[in-house]
Amino acid sequence: PSLVLALSSLLGALALLQLSLYLRVPSRYGKHEERLCRPRGRLPARCAWFLQELPSFLVPALLLALRSPPRLEPLGCRLLCCLFCWHYFYRTFIYPFFTRGRPFPLQLLFFGTLFCIYNGFLQGYYLIYCAEYPNDWCTDIRFTSGLLLFLLGMGINIHSDLLLRQLRKPGEVTYKIPQGGLFTYVSGANYFGEIVEWFGFAIATWSLPAFAFAFFTLCCIGPRAYHHHRYYLKTFTDYPKSRKALIPFIF
């Protein structure tokens, strides 16, 4: 428990660091990268996203395989571990192979991979070695409402990433105005979905590591949604004025 507390607190501190670094200046990848044509020091997006996200899937999966005897009772605990791995299975083995994104900076890839090892270990270690849930956790209101939010968020995230992908033909690297789905209301629809998803996961697990990760996600991609929004307003004169940055009708 003290290891989990220490790692979760560090994750919370990293979230605040992230917020202070990237609130005014966006993290330099994708549409916010300054020197767009410099091929050195960058890796094709497919390869970069695969490598970066792989530890988030692999580390909990390895922890699970190495745990002897296997401890994933009750059912609630097993389901929660599967939810985490399910998201990262999608992010590692499906998302990268369809992306039409620009090459990704190696430096950020390095830090992103470290982050995914860290978080994959924290969430997996907690769920596999530390979490204690009553046998009827699956019927607890926290589990059911959290699971619903998780699924809703994941649906919005995947659908929004798909809409972004469809804006480009293969080989194209230009930016267009996203249309449809939740993009009708916000510029960062994919980010909104991801944030809802991880807060849903935090409620379903009712655990410090998951709340720390949801908070990190908010501090990481919340500011990015704001910078995307400003970019669109600056770049496209016909950008819909009623569209918000991250939260429909509010912000």
Residues forming contacts to ligand NDX in the complex (CB under 6 A) are 14, 17-18, 21, 27, 30-31, 45, 53, 99-102, 108, 111-112, 115-116, 157, 161, 164, 167-168, 173, 175-176, 178, 190-191, 194, 217, 220-221, 224
Q: In this complex, which beta carbon is closest to ligand NDX, that of residue 30 or of residue 240? A: 30
**AA identity, residue 105:** P
Check if the beta carbon of residue 147 is closer than 8 Å to that of residue 185.
Answer: no
Q: In this complex, which beta carbon is closest to ligand NDX, that of residue 55 or of residue 76? A: 55
Check if the beta carbon of residue 207 is closer than 8 Å to that of residue 84.
Answer: no
Minimum CB distance to ligand NDX, residue 130 (Å): 22
Q: In this complex, which beta carbon is closest to ligand NDX, that of residue 175 or of residue 206? A: 175
CA-to-CA distance for 56 and 221, rounded, in angstroms?
A: 17
Q: In this complex, which beta carbon is closest to ligand NDX, that of residue 95 or of residue 133? A: 95
Minimum CB distance to ligand NDX, residue 214 (Å): 9
- Residue 42 pairs with which residues in a beta bridge? 105
Among residues 91, 103, 100, the alpha carbon closest in space to that of 44 is found at 103
Taking CB positions, which residue lies at the least distance from ligand NDX? 101
Minimum CB distance to ligand NDX, residue 134 (Å): 29
Residue found by looking up tokens 């480009």 in the block: 168
Minimum CB distance to ligand NDX, residue 20 (Å): 9
Instruction: Provide CB contacts within 8 A for 40, sequence distance 6+.
Output: none
Q: In this complex, which beta carbon is closest to ligand NDX, that of residue 61 or of residue 72? A: 61
Q: At what angle do helices 208-235 and 2-22 cross, to 10 degrees?
A: 10
Minimum CB distance to ligand NDX, residue 116 (Å): 6
Minimum CB distance to ligand NDX, residue 70 (Å): 28
**How is residue 28 annotated by DSSP?**
S
Q: In this complex, which beta carbon is closest to ligand NDX, that of residue 134 or of residue 180? A: 180
Q: How far is CA 107 from CA 48, 49, 52, in A?
A: 11, 13, 11
